Structures are given as structure tokens and as C-alpha cells.
Structure 1
Amino acid sequence: MHAPQWRMKALVLAVLALTQGACFGDSSYQNRNDGPPDAGGGGTCAPENDNDAVRLALAPACEGCHVNGNKPFFASLAAFESGLVYNERFVKRGDPDGSLLIQMLEGTAPGSYAQMPPGQPYEQLVSSGRVTMTIAQVKAWIRDLKAPPAPMDTPSPAEFRVRRLTAEEMVVSLMSQLGLTLEDFVSTSNPDWRNRAYVVNWNKFFVWPGDWAPGISGEYVSDSRTAERFEALGGGNSLEYRKKDPSFGPSAAQALVQMSQAWCGRAVDKQNNKAVLRFVTLADTSAKNPDAVQKNLRGLYLRMLGQPPSDAELKALYEQVYLPLEAQSTRLAWVGTCAALIRHPLWITY
């Protein structure tokens, strides 16, 4: 099923915005000794100041968990400064050894998170070249850290961000929007199936986190690729020490294309499910019942994207997606239309 030209262009623009706009590790800390950060480094993104240089240098080790969620320290310079740099819980200006940030990097922090990032000591990441800023340099930065700027608590409209949906958000949202439940994907033959590792039916293209209880069954009758698809979408797996991928690359795009087609097909075929076919049946065509088809297109657009379509957008969806596929079957037309909306930048981003 080929994406129409208008949708493909929009998807490409969204991917570029979500991937090429990201800042990764700053190389200005390579080949340095224990001196303070150099804000004029030659990384992939020019740092705005010393704090930003540190943010970019630490990002390869930290952004996997701290771009989104309740501690998005690495989402922007403002988030880094307000949430971490000038938060005395983590950084005590002038006192690196008393700063929780240093203790976590060294693996000696109190509490549940003694080491950050989890899974591999920070110094090993430095040795491998994944990050270029040493702990000694982080200490030097904290020791010489300047006072916070005056307007720290003033909201900045410039910090508005558009991000991709996480893999978890994609799975949960799509199941809700399409009227699907776990019973549509997993075996329910065991009366206690909800409390046992899910036996995933084959050929359903189920996508689910591998670390969500009660887990995915390892039996040969269960689709073992369920968690792999979730990770392809950018999801993490804490049991396997795999971090989330905040970008939207080729693997995520391919997984979403396949997922959208498979899940929309299940939604259309599901008996008494009005999620996709709210105002029409598969017997209604553009020739027999054009008003119902247009009404259903408009309603489906609103349901999936959260806003009504413009006349031009509705016309393009009808002429470039629905009609060509309706020539083969109305089922294929509604599956294709549903899948096209899921791949729309307004659905992918938040």
C-alpha cells in the first residue's frame, strides 16, 4: 500500500524535524584535561554558553531517558538549567563532591539510583568514546559554575517544543482510537490469561513493551517479535538495559507503517466496531452513498488527529487516498485512509 504524495512529503518533513533538529554530544571536550568546559566547541550543535556545552557533552549518556518524561533535563538548555544545573538537589554550586550529579556519575549516590546512567559506569562510556567529558571536567564546571540568570522562573515562549510520540503513547493511543483491546491480539484460552505472560497470536502484528507485566510468553506458539517491534518504534526495555530512542528514524517509520496497516485492518474487520466505520458500512461506496463517505472521512480525520480537516485537506484525502483504493474494495479504502492518518505528522507528533 503506497502512501500518497501529499502524505509522504508531510511525513518526510516531520522526520527531518524530529531527527536533524536534535543536538548530540559536543566534541569540545575531546583531548582536554581537567579544565572547565569550553563553550566554543566544535560539536554538531553550537553551544549557547558553558552550561549548554556541558548539556551537549553529557547528552549521549543521558538523553535516552531524560529528553521526555517527568525529568526531561536534556530537552533544551532551559530545561537543563532549571531542572538540573540550578537545582541544589542535583548540583551544589562550588561543591562538586557534595553534588548528587557527581555522585551518580561515580556510582556512589545514595538511594535507589546509585549510578547514572544505569547499566554501565560513566567512565567506561568516556573510555569507549561515547561521551567526551570526564568526571573531572564535570567537577571543574560545578566548581566554577556561575550564578543563575535572573529570569530563570519566567516562562519562555521560545522553549515551545514539538516531539514525537513515544512508543508507549503510540501503542496505547492507537488501541484506544481504533477500538482494539488485548483480546484482539493475545490468546484468551486460559481463564487466567490476564495474569500470565501473554501468548501472542501470530499474524496480528502485535506491538507491546517487553518489560510491562505480566510480560510476553516465550512459548513457541507466541509471536516472539512483539517486543522487537516495540523497540523498533523507539521503545526501551528496562529488563534488557535498552534505552528509548527519542528520534524518529527509518526503523520507527517502517514499524509504524506496518503497524498502521495491520491495526487499521483489524479495526475495520472487528465486528460491531465503530471506530473507523462510524457513519458507513463496507457496502457504502462513493457512488451509492457519497454523503456518508464524506461524513465518515471527516469524522475519522477528527478522531485520529484531534482537529477537523480543512476542505482542501479533506479533498486531498478523498481524491488521493480513498478513491484510488476504493476501486479495489471499500475495505481497502478505509484501511488505507486510516493508516494514512496514523502516519500524518499531526498524529506522530505532540
Structure 2
Amino acid sequence: MNRFAFLLVLSCVLACGSGTTPSHTGQQAQAVCGTPASSETLRVMEGLRPHCEGCHVVGARGYFASADAFQSLLVADTRLVNTANPDDSELVRLLEGTAKGAFKQMPIGEKSYAQLVADGTAKLTVDEVRAWIRGLGAQQRDTRPDPQARRITRLSATQMQRALYQQLGLKHDDFFFPAKEFGFEMAEPRDDDHYPLQPTDITPSPRQHATGARFYALGGGSVMYQVSPDRTPSPTFVLTLTQVSQRWCRRALSMPDNTALFPKGATRSANPDEVKATLKRWSLHFLGERLTDAQVDELYTDVFVPLATPTDTEPAYVGACSYFIRHPHWIFY
């Protein structure tokens, strides 16, 4: 490392770690390091924590993993907190149950946060959150990787199976029917064409080895077979998720009256406007993100069109569906 680079790194460390007014070089470093969390921000974080950290303590949306995570991932994200304008802050809308994204309220459940406040369950009021946002100045996100920060923790194989069942409108009976082996309840695959998977340590356990092998490939462990859980993004995991997502999307699309992917009465269409409307809806469904028109056009051109045929749109819809499941922003990561 040359002398100039060393001084630049040193100035960044000093600017981030001290409360002194930075020099010109330090100002650049401070912009990289991000705005520190204020005492009022920490108070708001602690007030929301009991009702939010159950789902938001790890992963890409691990806002409550630490004060730095809360500040950088939530407070300094203009998509969630519009400083000085609580009415235009998605965080406030989520707390009040009027959000515009994939989820209308937080926490997910019967009652919104505002209703919990009204019941006396939550202590920090929405008015206090609004006042805090009005008092926030301009916020700079920390763009540096933190070696001590929590890494994204992906789902276990069992959780992924349940998540895919939920998002695709599938269930255990779509893949298995009851059977017995020496008097024990077993899960017999209806066929292997749709790549069924099932944990080997639960009841009913799968009769076929391939069913359990896919579970292991997605990182599932087994006490009985002495297989350790593995949540790393290994090539085997990626390959298996690719295969399963394609087969399960095809299965979901072929099921009549399945409203998980299409509203009741809607059908697959080759009309570009209707396809783009579906891609927009699926982005909210699978990623929790609202695509711009330009992003939808790009997705339609790059993913859907190359897979469509003059007589059949099924391969294109299957490809688009599995694309969202394999996307790094898949909402269940």
C-alpha cells in the first residue's frame, strides 16, 4: 500500500471512530462511513425492537441486528424513511397498515403496529416515530463492508420447502400420497417428474432416496443418516434450487384454480401488456419489490421473450417464475 492510500484509509478510520470535525479528506471519509445513529434513533429502535426483531434480526432486512444495521439499512434508506416527511415514509405506512409494497403492515399478523399501540401492547407510539422522522436531517448510508456485520442467513431446506409451497400454492398432497412400509407411515411420491422433496427425519418420511437427496442438496440435515445441515450457497444447492424451482413453477402453473400466481379467473396470456402486469405482480410476490416500467420492459425482453414460442407461453412463464425464486432478493432469504 502506498503512502497516500495508507493515509486515506487511516483518515477514514479516524473520521468514523472519533467525534471531531473532519478535515476535507475526513469529510470524504465521513460520507463513506455514513451518518451515525443519534440517541433518538436508538430510542426509536429499542421501542420497535420487541415487535420487529423476530423477523428482522438477520439477513438482508436484518434492521435490528445492531444499531449500525438499523441506521444504515433502515434510517438511511430513502425508500423506507423520507427524512422530514413522515407522510411519505414507507416505515410509517407499514406501522399504520397502509403500506404500498408487498406487505401492507408490520408486524405481519392480525393487528398492525398502530393497533398494538392502541391496545397498550406497544409502548412507542406512531406519533413519536413521526416526530423522530421530522427531526432527522440528511442521512448518508455507510457504503463500506463491515467485517463484523452479520451475514445473510438463508433458509433451511425445510423452510425453503414450506416457503415454496406457500408462494406457489402447492401442498404436500400435490407431491405425495400416503403409503406404508412395514407398518410405518411413509410418503410415496406421485411421480418424480416434479422433483418432490421431503425431510428424511420427519413423519411421514419419503420412501424414495431421490426425494431425500434433493432435501440434502438444499442444505437439509439428518440425524438418522448423520448428514450435517449446510446453508452455504454451494453449486449443488444452486443446481437443485434451479431444477426444483422450474419443476414446481410448472406444476403450479398447470394446476386449475390456483390463485397463488394468477388472480381468480385470469389465464396465461401472450399479450405483452398483460405479461408485464404479471411480472410486476410477481416481483412484489416473490421479491417484495416494486419494479419500474423500465425494469419490467427489461425483464420482459431478457427473460420472457427468449423462452416464449409462437404457440406456447408456458416455458416463458415457467422461466420467469423460477427466475424470481432464484433471484438474490428472493423475499424468503
Give the TM-score, by structure 1 length: 0.48
Q: Is the 8 A contact 2:179 2:185 kept in 1?
A: no
Q: Is the 8 A contact 2:179 2:187 kept in 1?
A: no
Structure 1 match to 2:55:
none
Aligned equivalents of 2:282, 2:331: Cα separation in 1: 16
Q: Offset of 1:188 from its aligned partner?
A: 5.1
Structure 2 match to 1:345:
328
Aligned equivalents of 1:272, 1:309: Cα separation in 2: 27
CA RMSD of aligned residues (A): 2.6
Structure 1 segment 194-205 matched on structure 2, within 5 A: 196-202=185-191, 203-205=193-195
Structure 1 segment 142-161 matched on structure 2, within 5 A: 159-161=149-151
Superposed CA deviations along residues 156-178 of structure 1, whole A, max 9, x for unmatched, are 99634322222122111001000
The amino acid that maps onto 2:241 is L
Report SS of the residue matched to 1:334: helix
Report SS of the residue matched to 2:230: coil
The amino acid that maps onto 1:311 is D
Would you say 1:184 and 2:174 are equivalent positions? yes
Aligned equivalents of 1:160, 1:311: Cα separation in 2: 34
Aligned equivalents of 1:172, 1:349: Cα separation in 2: 10
Would you say 1:228 and 2:213 are equivalent positions? yes
* C-alpha spacing 1:271/1:157, structure 2 compared with 1 (3 Å): same
Find 1:336's aligned residue among 307, 319, 323. 319
Structure 2 match to 1:281:
267
Structure 1 segment 1-350 matched on structure 2, within 5 A: 159-187=149-177, 196-202=185-191, 203-217=193-207, 223-278=208-263, 280-282=266-268, 284-286=269-271, 290-328=272-310, 329-347=312-330, 350=333
The amino acid that maps onto 1:233 is L
Indicate the percent of aligned positions where both proteins have the same amino acid: 35
Aligned equivalents of 1:157, 1:201: Cα separation in 2: 47
The amino acid that maps onto 1:211 is D
Report SS of the residue matched to 2:165: helix
Structure of greater relative contact order (alpha carbons < 8 Å, 6+ residues apart): 1
Aligned equivalents of 1:323, 1:277: Cα separation in 2: 19
Superposed CA deviations along residues 108-152 of structure 1, whole A, max 9, x for unmatched, are xxxxxxxxxxxxxxxxxxxxxxxxxxxxxxxxxxxxxxxxxxxxx
Q: Which has the higher strand share?
A: 2
Superposed CA deviations along residues 267-309 of structure 1, whole A, max 9, x for unmatched, are 0001111222338413x212xxx33222111111111112222
**Could you list the runs of 5+ residues in structure 2 that have no partner in the other structure?**
1-57, 59-64, 66-145
Q: Offset of 1:346 from its aligned partner?
A: 0.9
Q: Offset of 1:348 from its aligned partner?
A: 7.7
The amino acid that maps onto 1:278 is P
Give the TM-score, by structure 2 length: 0.51
Structure 1 match to 2:12:
none
Superposed CA deviations along residues 197-243 of structure 1, whole A, max 9, x for unmatched, are 111122220011111222123xxxxx431010010111111111111
Q: Offset of 1:189 from its aligned partner?
A: 8.1
Aligned equivalents of 1:340, 1:239: Cα separation in 2: 34
* C-alpha spacing 1:272/1:188, structure 2 compared with 1 (3 Å): farther
* C-alpha spacing 1:254/1:348, structure 2 compared with 1 (3 Å): farther
The amino acid that maps onto 2:229 is K
Aligned equivalents of 1:274, 1:225: Cα separation in 2: 29
Q: Is the 8 A contact 2:167 2:260 kept in 1?
A: yes
Q: Is the 8 A contact 1:276 1:334 kept in 2?
A: no
Aligned equivalents of 1:162, 1:184: Cα separation in 2: 31
